[in-house]
Structure 1
Amino acid sequence: MAIDDEDGGGAAGQPGRLILTVYGLYARERGGWLPIAGLVRLLGEMGVNVQAVRSAIHRLKRRGLVDAQRRADAAGYALSADAYGLLAEGDVRIFGHTRGAADDGWLLVVFSVPDTERAKRHQLRSTLTRLGFGTVSPGTWIAPSHLRDATVETLERAGLAGFTQVFTGPHVAGGDLSELVASWWDLDGLQALYADFLDRFEPVGARWLDGTGDDARAFVDLVDMLTAWRRLPYADPGLPLELLPADWNGRRAQELFSALSARLREPAARHVEAMLGPAEAPARSLPASRAG
């Protein structure tokens, strides 16, 4: 689920991102649709008021991610075709997060954009940043090779492929690869993001993994955690562990996310069913997430 809305501090400050998490988790097994009244009740449990929910859903509608629909005389919003594709792409990145090895090779995107297309240059840089690329030089960006297919598909979908050349291959010479990786990516910044996640959710993990809680609390904690986690597999594109600092905390954060997701998904789904009624189709399990 890579279609973030606005950033924010607490739950009440980021209703758009929370709504996208709820849709990604629960709408697709309900025909891609959720009733607005039910969405208001669910988000209300996370401290988001009615007006904030309605404002956020209207912004998502303007972005083409949801469409207003009535079903069985109930008002609600359905995922657009574009949103379905983006959510499926995000599932792979978030729940199937792949970590490469140094000998797997690297992916290079080289681009040259004429001055008359400056907006495309900015779009290219923003797109590659969102995919998790590091910067070798202004027109040369790098990522682990396992991002090849996702990168090619994203560039084509965005209409940017004509400005780029895409290569894969090993690093042969030109410096210590660990030092180069540290210059291409902001590893200190990544460590700080992981540290924030651990500080916030290790106490949640301790409460759930060693004990119990009610279904409503499971829903709140799962949506809150997934909303906070969602950007991290994009900021860290699965850099090889052997090239990262010895105290790298990303692996511990991934293990916490995987364990807590597995623990919370069933009670959270029960709570959503109690609030909205049974799903139209058999519940779709979250993809199994892999630590690494």
Structure 2
Amino acid sequence: MFIYEHSEDLLEGIVEYLHNRGAVIQELLSKKMPTLIPFAVLVADLQESCRICAELPPEEYFEMIHEMRETLEESFRKYYGIHGKHAGDGMVYYFLKQRDSNYLVNALSCALEIKERMREFSRQWKTKKRWLNELYLNVGINEGEEYFGVLRASSSIEFAALGETINYAARISDLARFGTILVTKNLVNKLPEEERRMFALGLRKKHPEGEVFVKNIFSRVIDLASPDDPLKAKFMDVATLPVTELTGRGTPALR
């Protein structure tokens, strides 16, 4: 769900902004009934945000969150992401299926780019605060086809998505750690082979000689959660959901 508020000028800006995201949104604005639309959703949460909030003065914490969002916004615009509502200090972005762009490739490419931007942002705040904190944005990405509807009020336009697609993305973002990008098998299966090869996907597995990365493999959420994790119960509704990790770019198939 994503919400925009206040004034006719802002409303005009919103319509212009959405127009640049394609004809799909324009159709939504013209319809009173919900429309079934395929999309990818990216949910990103700042790791240990409660601890960081406790450590910083309020004005500095809000400054940090504001700067983080400004830093990442360029990447979301580049890949046609549409900002959604997030209950906390994380972010939700939707990538709608359009005639002129690949929404799945856009979502994955955007996730990799914001990961790189976060590394630089974390480095800058280390220098600024002279602290040892690393700032990680943990990401979950899912794909689905849900009903999007438009709810209008005198001072706002609200687009609402019904279904479990965003809930699953939020759950796996909670599971991710240290800037990991977790992607559902459902999304990966929608990628043609050539596009799948554009990305490095797989999981880290424990080995007697250390940790190894196994390409093109998935795991159920319940098997990735630590057995002694006190929050393990929160993943029970997605326990059998297969996911993999997006670690970087792959090698596209030659034409």
Please give the range of the TM-score, normalised by the shorter of the 2 chains: under 0.3
| TM-score between the two structures when normalised by the length of structure 1 | 0.23
Larger proportion of strand: 2
Larger proportion of helix: 1
Whose RCO is larger (CA < 8 A, sep 6+)?
1
| TM-score between the two structures when normalised by the length of structure 2 | 0.26
